[in-house]
């Protein structure tokens, strides 16, 4: 099978190593490996004609590496699906580069990232130390793109010709850009902007800024360029949301969806009822929407589940405080209802109380609380007395 070394038969690769001008080179050490480095190595040295014969498994993907003090390849040469064939491997005279990254005031750009790019490959990708300097391993002579980046600084791209031992200095400048967060509650069909949410922006390089959202749900922070930020959005009654965002050198916007902290509420239609009367209880969620199939208990005994409207009706069989509890998933809430017998004192919160007078009774029998029946009886009695006196 192509790309594997499953077949055990061997084939011979005729490898010719040449310099930049196409001239064959002798005395160049070649190391061949396959199966992702698990197979081999098979080591050979080029002869006077620049050739080396290397036996490898047929059909293998073979990687050829050059080991020489004078000549190098930036990347290994790969032979796919090896068969008996002739291959020309070009090498270049080796060189090194020392790249000094500095800030606008000439100070070392500590921990700057320095990369050398050529022919579609990053040949070097390292972080400078406190001195802002990177010295490369031996690389091919030629022109390279040198890219220097550092959090809080604009990216610098420079072309450098590397020969022998080359030293170059690259300057980076500080800069900032706007990072805007738009915070909305996406519970609704049309997401609603959230005002006065707190947006905190932090980075590992030390930036820390906090701003509130405006009426349109947006908050903008000026942040250093070319860095990654942790954005945390908080608001009372809402769940905290965290986002990680990379900011380059252009204004960056992110959308943050938040929702209210999950909770349920249990509400009775009447908090004082007569013993054995029914009370209707309604369970709603954090958006005041009905919660169906919530389990409701009365003093610990289940009385049923809420319907599609989040409602359930239960009796209150005993006098005093009765505790109703609703459970939906891992959310629980309770409420109390006080039951009393007509004419008896009730107890609310441990204190004895007399039921409040209704529209048809008063506490002293005189006043606007007289019933129509009592008033009519008094009128009839007065009329009878008048007739007897005639």
Token representation of residue 286: 């954090």
What's residue 37's pLDDT?
84
Token representation of residue 184: 């909305």
d(CA 290, CA 293): 10
d(CA 196, CA 214): 6
Count of CA atoms in the C-beta half-sphere (13 A) of 268 = 22
Fill in the DSSP letter of residue 374.
H
Fill in the DSSP letter of residue 386.
H
What's residue 345's pLDDT?
57
What's residue 383's pLDDT?
42
Fill in the DSSP letter of residue 354.
P
Give residue-wise pLDDT tens across range 237-290.
999 999 999 999 999 999 999 999 999 999 999 999 999 999 999 999 999 999
User: Helix, strand or coil for residue 385?
Assistant: helix
Domains and CATH numbers, the chain: 10-90 (2.60.40.10), 96-171 (2.60.40.1120), 176-258 (2.60.40.10), 264-353 (2.60.40.1930)
Fill in the DSSP letter of residue 74.
S
* Residues in the chain with pLDDT values less than 50: 1-7, 346-352, 354-390
Q: In what side-by-side order are the strands of the sheet with 142-149?
A: 121-127, 113-118, 142-149, 156-162
Residues 6+ apart with CB under 8 A from 276: 315, 316, 317
Strands 92-102 and 241-247: unpaired
d(CA 66, CA 53): 14
| 264 prior amide bond cis, ω within 30 | no
d(CA 149, CA 171): 10
* Best CA proximity match to 122, nearest among 72, 156, 69, 75: 75
Token representation of residue 93: 């005279």
């Amino acid at each position: 099978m192509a790309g594997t070394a499953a077949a055990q038969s061997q084939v011979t690769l005729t490898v010719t190593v040449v310099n930049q001008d196409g001239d064959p080179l002798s005395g160049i050490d070649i190391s061949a490996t396959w199966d992702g480095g698990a197979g081999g190595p098979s080591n050979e040295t080029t002869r006077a004609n620049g050739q080396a014969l290397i036996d490898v498994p047929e059909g293998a993907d073979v990687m050829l590496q050059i080991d020489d003090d004078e000549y190098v390849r930036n990347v290994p040469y790969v032979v796919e699906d090896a068969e008996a064939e002739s291959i020309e491997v070009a090498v270049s005279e080796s060189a090194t580069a020392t790249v000094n990254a500095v800030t606008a005031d000439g100070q070392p750009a500590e921990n700057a990232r320095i990369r050398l790019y050529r022919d579609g490959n990053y040949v070097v990708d390292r972080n400078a130390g406190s001195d802002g300097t990177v010295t490369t391993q031996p690389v091919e002579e030629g022109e390279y793109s040198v890219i220097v980046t550092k959090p809080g600084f604009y990216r610098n791209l420079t072309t450098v010709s590397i020969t022998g031992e080359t030293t170059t200095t690259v300057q980076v400048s500080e800069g900032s850009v706007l990072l805007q967060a738009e915070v909305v509650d996406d519970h609704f069909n049309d997401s609603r902007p959230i005002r006065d949410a707190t947006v905190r922006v932090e980075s590992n390089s030390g930036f820390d800024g906090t701003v509130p959202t405006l009426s349109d749900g947006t908050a903008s922070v000026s942040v250093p360029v070319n860095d990654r930020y942790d954005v945390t959005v908080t608001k009372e009654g809402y769940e905290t949301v965290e986002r990680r965002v990379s900011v380059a050198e252009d204004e960056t916007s992110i959308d943050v969806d938040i929702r209210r902290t999950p909770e349920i509420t249990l509400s009775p239609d009447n908090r004082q009822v007569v013993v054995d009367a029914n009370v209707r209880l309604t369970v709603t969620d954090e958006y005041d929407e009905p919660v169906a199939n919530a389990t409701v208990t009365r003093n610990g005994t289940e009385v049923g589940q809420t319907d599609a409207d989040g409602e359930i009706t239960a009796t209150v069989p005993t006098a005093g405080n009765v505790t109703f509890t609703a459970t939906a998933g891992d959310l629980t809430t309770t409420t109390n209802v006080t039951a009393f017998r007509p004419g008896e004192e009730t107890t609310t919160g441990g204190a004895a109380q007399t039921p409040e007078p209704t529209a048809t009774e008063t506490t002293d029998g005189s006043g606007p609380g007289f019933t129509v029946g009592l008033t009519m009886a008094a009128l009839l009695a007065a009329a009878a007395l008048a007739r007897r006196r005639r």
